[in-house]
Structure 1
Amino acid sequence: MTDEIPQHTLAAWKDFPDALAERLIALRQLVLEVAGDNPAIGPLEETLKWGEPAFLTSATGAGTTIRINRHKKRDDKYAFYVHCQTDLVERYRQLYRDRLNFDGNRAVVLDVKDELPVEAIRHCLAMALTYHLRDSGQAARSRADPVNPRP
């Protein structure tokens, strides 16, 4: 996967205000960086799910799908979404309830006017992209730490 934004992703965001599109591009870049920092995640497949840019760990099966898009068709909110049947958002709440906002059991919601809380979001993304490694016990056998890939 390269940092070049695929046409299908650009098309999904083409009518968004510039400020929202810039935030989504920054969030997309963070997803790619987190995946690139941890070999256990493997290459990401970038596609559309429900018309929203989505990232899958198809090659390794290491994590759950992450989708990124504006939130509830609002131009001032954006989010990343994980599968609603995981416990990820509950884990995020336990760790970051004072720093992040959530929607139900599937989304971390961000405000366009606020600075991206990079370290908290990076950690949440890493947890999602390695979700199946932890569940299956493979993380313990992996040389790479799936949650904290940097020494």
Structure 2
Amino acid sequence: MSGVQTFDTLEVGMTWQCAARTLTEAELAWSCMSSGDWHPIHADAAFAATTAAGQRMFQGSYGIHLALGMATHLPELGDSVIAALGLNDWTFRSPLFVNDTVHAEVELTGKRETRDGARAVIDRRVRLVKSTGDIAQEGKISTLIHRRSAAT
């Protein structure tokens, strides 16, 4: 299904997938700079080569950042999004490396109206998947939305 979704058009079990993108050297440097996490497994190629991974890897938090960013418009909710309510059960399954190609997969796992009837909560499972098919990370996010778009 394409186009802007509303609470009424969303059905539990619906799935979406975003376009894939490849992680870059610049992103790894940016991730170190923005997080302040300069652990040698992220920042020192010579050190990282001596580890089980054999190469530098992204911080786990970058995977969360990436997965949720990629999944922001899955489903497309237009102007109805109010706020993220929580992130639950996030797991790290496979490290992310420079040149990994990843995409996000999203499944609507729940939806419910709030007491006032003007708003609703949607629950989504988000998976960050490598081009190899390996799930790098996954978890659940709950989002508060307007029951109807502000435009309607």
**Range of TM-score over shorter length:** under 0.3
Work out which of the two has the higher radius of gyration on C-alpha atoms and give 1 or 2.
2
Name the TM-score, length of structure 2 as normaliser: 0.27
Higher helix share: 1
Name the TM-score, length of structure 1 as normaliser: 0.27
Structure with the greater relative contact order (CA < 8 A, sep ≥ 6): 1 or 2?
2
